[in-house]
Amino acid sequence: MVNDHVAIILAAGEGKRMRPYTNNTSKCLLKVGNKRLIEHIVDACEEAGIKDIVVVVGYQKKRVKRLLGNRVKYVVNKKYHSTQTMYSLWLTRKIADGRPLIQINGDTYFHPLILKKLIGHAYPDAMAVDLNAKLDEEATKVIVQGGRVRMIGKELPIHAADGECLGIRKYSARTASRLYKEIGRSIRRGGAQKYIFEVLNNFLRVNRFDAVQTDGLPWTEIDFEKDLVKARKINSMPIVLIFAAGVGRRILPLTSDMPKALLRIGGKTLIERQIELFKRAGLNDIVVIVGHKKNAVKRLLGNSVRHVENPLYKTTQTMYSLWQTRKFVFGRPLIIVMGDLLFDEKLLSKLLKSKKPDCAIVDCNVLITPETVKVKIKNNKVLYIDIRNIAINEAIGEYIGLNKLSVNGSKLLFKICEKIIEKSPHWKLAHIPFNVFVKYRPFYAIYAEGEVWAEIDFEKDYSNAKKMRGKWELKQ
């Protein structure tokens, strides 16, 4: 997806309220996880298909430029110490005037889907708002009526406000041009130190600006230390990877027009059930790897998840699908699940609650057959996973395809993938290399003990799962 918006990231300020964190660095350079805040924002813009990104710099500008290099263009606010974001935005007028515009405050940490939702919203003038935010005096509050923003500002009384604006807004080319003119008039009247809200409120009185809700997706504006702590906490939550790229040849012709993950049981697809379970568990950052009939998956799920494509899905296995996600998930804890897996809430809860940093669900109470994904275990540690290279009488149980990885485990797994792709002539045939992983790091077995699950490999599996449809209903 490519769009013609120009993204303006306002990152010139000193961040005085964040001292001592910002004594020697810009707020946008503070680390959140394994990236700087500004890197998260630029990544989100690129993921949303924005090719033209402009960063307004001032304080610590050389460090910002060294970090981002030629990924973006730069505009310098030489008066950063005495002006506000409105002045920084005005400085971009020669680059952005006459074009549709995305404005992002450089101290906002947000889920990338928030930006995608805003860009995908039908009306061209809109802003991201959180109608469930806990408001305080510092919040940029909004009044929303009929889905439209009627007023915005920090000075709005808390009791009158409906929610908080995130500092992520989009303007049509026409509105952007008018906005630049109004900002220019305000600056000429001595308003360089003002926030943009005064000009925006003049627009809101006579122009439509839609409120695009975050729908529970995480974000925070980093003004104080507690906000930085919140951002880092959000970043520490696992990303869910759902593998849904394969053709599913063993279950043809059922998968002629869809991947296995779109097979339905009781009116819901397998992948919809998975996503609902993960979100109920508080895991909202979900990436679906697509390939076979990718548009069918995208139509079904829309912007409720992120999509990453495996362009070689016909000739590669799960390792290459995992490799496609590296830019989005490297250095984050992960939940890895196959898209053809049905499992109940208790099983997911057991995995998430386990204190073992790197682990997988194993069922030792199943009938082992030649087609079973068998596993060898010693002292509750997985030693080997395979279908054909483990004899039935040597197998301890079945590996079901539901895994949890720590930050260090995630980093190790991607490094192993990189080496295999670089050095092995058979890398296209490689599955996720857990058998190499276990040589360097403990990978613990978490045992299924009566919890219900089913993997859909063959038509008989699908038929049996449909007969058990009552087992898959989620409790309210």
Pairing of β 286-290 and β 268-269: unpaired
Q: Are residues 160 and 254 in the same domain?
A: no
Q: Are residues 214 and 121 in the same domain?
A: yes
Instruction: Output the pLDDT for position 474.
Output: 67
Q: Are residues 301 and 153 in the same domain?
A: no
E strands, 125-238, in order? 126-130, 141-145, 148-153, 163-171, 210-213, 219-221
Q: Are residues 219 and 333 in the same domain?
A: no
Q: Are residues 202 and 249 in the same domain?
A: no
Q: Are residues 187 and 272 in the same domain?
A: no
Buried b (16+ CB within 10 A) or exposed e, 338-362: bbbbbbbeebbebbeeeebbbbbbb
Q: Are residues 296 and 221 in the same domain?
A: no
Instruction: Output the pLDDT for position 398.
Output: 93
Q: Are residues 194 and 267 in the same domain?
A: no
Q: Length of the chain in residues, anyone?
A: 476
Q: Are residues 131 and 227 in the same domain?
A: yes
The residue among 234, 254, 282 that closes a domain is: 234
CATH number at residue 426: 3.90.550.10
Q: Which domain holds residue 36?
A: 3-234
The residue among 234, 268, 296 that closes a domain is: 234
Instruction: Output the pLDDT for position 14.
Output: 81
The residue among 234, 269, 300 that closes a domain is: 234
Q: Are residues 266 and 175 in the same domain?
A: no
Instruction: Output the pLDDT for position 153.
Output: 87
Q: Are residues 445 and 467 in the same domain?
A: yes
Q: Looking at the 3D structure of the chain, how many domains does it have?
A: 2
Instruction: Output the pLDDT for position 475.
Output: 66
Residues of the chain with pLDDT under 70: 1-2, 191, 474-476
- Helices 173-188, 197-206: axis angle to 10 degrees equals 130
